[in-house]
Amino acid sequence: MKSLNRRQFVTRMSLSAVAAATFSKTGYSAPGYFARTKMAEEFVDIETSYGKIRGIRTEGVNIFKGIPYGGRISGDRRFRRPAPLEPWAGVKETIQLGAPAIQSPRRGEPDPSEDCLFLNVWTPANDNKKRPVMFYNHGGGYVIGSGGSGGQDGANLARNFDVVVVETNHRLGLLGFLYLDEIAGSDYAGSGNMGVLDITEGLKWVNKNIVEFGGDPNNVMIWGESGGGAKTSCLYAMPEASPFFNKASIESGPGVRMTARETAAETTAKVLKELNISPKDWRKLLDVSAVDLLTVQSKFSFVAPHLEKNKPMFGFGPVVDGIVLPNHPFDPTAPNISRDKPLMTGWNEDEYTFFAWERKDTSAFTMDFAGLQTRLEPQYGADAKKIIETYRKSRPNASAPDIFVAISSITMMGLGSIDIAEKKAKQNGAPVYLYNFGYKSDMKIPGTDYPMGTPHAMDISFKFNNEVPPKAGEPPRMGFGGSKPDRFIASHNMAALWTGFARTGKPTAENLPAWPAYNLKDRPTMRIDTKCEVINDRFSEEVDVWKSIGKF
């Protein structure tokens, strides 16, 4: 490692260390995150297996952004494994984010590109110390997002908890998950899973190189939120990924089932029809511009087909192809291949409020109980009344909007998380730990007086320890976490538990209660807030009603 004094390069150095997380109309923009310019205190040169790279050291963290981890995936490599990454001569500057996958432009990031196989590393020091490695999979379903989103900046986690953080960009949407195996031949085997196979390439890069960044290649945790949680679920079940990680955390994105081959093949047929390409002429897909493919992609559901039950829906996501992904990750059982790998899983208490905010839909927050039943009947029919009665009994002080948020949140993310915990516990292998994140933000849903509570995606800035007091002279930042100072305590608690799990395989932290592994007798759940507490068999009456009507 070679460090270069800041004065030698100050005229060349100005970069955004925290960039806004901005998604397309089908995604989200976490309010309050904005670009901050940081100057390098010094530059750091590191030798990797492909060549020398240059990052920066600032505020006690070494940061490397835009490191190539795979070769070309455009041109004749579209829908295929990456071309080999070519070594380079000299020093490659890795001080700016690499291009994200094809999607709408993202504020504070380079223009999206097909060739998007870049990763970012945050480490306290490149000193050969064997720190736990936290390999994060970004959210955004399977169609948007990047490893450079501001709320998931890894500097605070690395600095405050002595870990190494890694995040990748990888193929998304149609370019990452178009299933061509049945029409394109052996060169395109695994085409329906290129997005998660890219992540596996990132894990292989970590295995070869992370020692140079002060990380331990034999202590790697994979984790992710929302679509990143579902990607993590896939990796947990993928033979090719298995040798390169030791534990996992699936957060507000329980990937119990993935897309069946039959559905994926039908989606491919619809794509070809949209482009007026016959199946025998599938190679013409290689000549269609990425922009045109993105336009076709927009005609399909943003929600991957396996995430909405009993609805004729086609979209893009990982495929149970029998090879790359041999089985559904957690159906009918937890994957045997990861039997000995500890797991965390859970969800946020008020997931739904994020989607109401994102869609500007305030209709749920003015309804009475008659309106609640009317709202639920199209989905649950005659069972709507039974569901409401159960929730009114278990939450006697809850309003109709409160109950709608609770029902929507647990059906979106909670039941799948519980299902994963139950199936993992039944294996009698490595432990599984179930959580609820419950810190309540004071941010209101625009156009209402209804609080966001603990919405989907709010956990990102908390578990990355990015809810911290502003530095002197820095304006206050307000995201989903709101403005109350006690959010800093909740953020520290969550980050401490996650890094404790990364370090030891047990989510432990100083001054926090012991978190018992989930079991089928007590069913303990850790509720994470300014004060953390273990609650046994939480939501038991509510879960029972979902079981009774066949929804769980």
Residue 9 has pLDDT above 70, yes or no: no
**For 420-463, how does the pLDDT look when each residue is reduced to its tens digit (9 = 90+)?**
999 999 999 999 999 999 999 999 999 999 999 999 999 999 99
**C-alpha to C-alpha distance for 436 and 481, rounded to whole angstroms:** 16
Confidence of residue 41 (pLDDT cuts 50, 70, 90): confident
348 bridge partner residues: 437
What the chain holds in terms of domains, given with CATH numbers, is 2-320 (3.40.50.1820), 342-548 (3.40.50.1820)
Taking alpha carbons only, the member of 477, 475, 473, 474 closest to residue 491 is: 477
Segment 299-326 shows an average pLDDT of 80
* Per-residue pLDDT tens digits for 195-241: 999 999 999 999 999 999 999 999 999 999 999 999 999 999 999 99
CA pseudo-torsion sign 326, 330, 336, 338: positive
CA distance 64 to 164: 11
Mean of the per-residue pLDDT values of the chain: 92
Percent with pLDDT over 90 in the chain: 87
- 3 state SS of 527: strand
> Cβ(226)–Cβ(141) under 8 Å?
yes
Closest listed residue to residue 134, CA positions, set 110, 112, 150, 152? 152
The pLDDT tens digits for 184-197 are 999 999 999 999 99
In which element (H, E) is residue 442 found? strand 441-444
Q: Are 317 and 306 in contact (CB under 8 A)?
A: yes
Average pLDDT over residues 247-267: 96
**pTM, to two decimals:** 0.93
Alpha helices in 381-458 (DSSP H): 383-394, 400-409, 415-426
The residue-averaged pLDDT of 155-168 equals 98
Q: Which residues pair with 53 in a beta bridge?
A: 46, 92
Q: What 3 state SS string does 294-350 have?
A: HHHHCCCCCCCHHHCCCCCCCCCCCEECCCCCCCECCECCCCHHHCCCCEEEEEECC
Phi, psi of 536 (to 5 degrees): -85, 140
Residue 473 confidence class, pLDDT cut points 50, 70, 90: confident
Q: Which residues does 179 contact at the CB level (< 8 Å), separation at least 6?
A: 191, 192, 259, 261, 264, 265, 267, 268, 319, 321
pLDDT digits (tens, 9 = 90+) for 371-424: 999 999 999 999 999 999 999 999 999 999 999 999 999 999 999 999 999 999
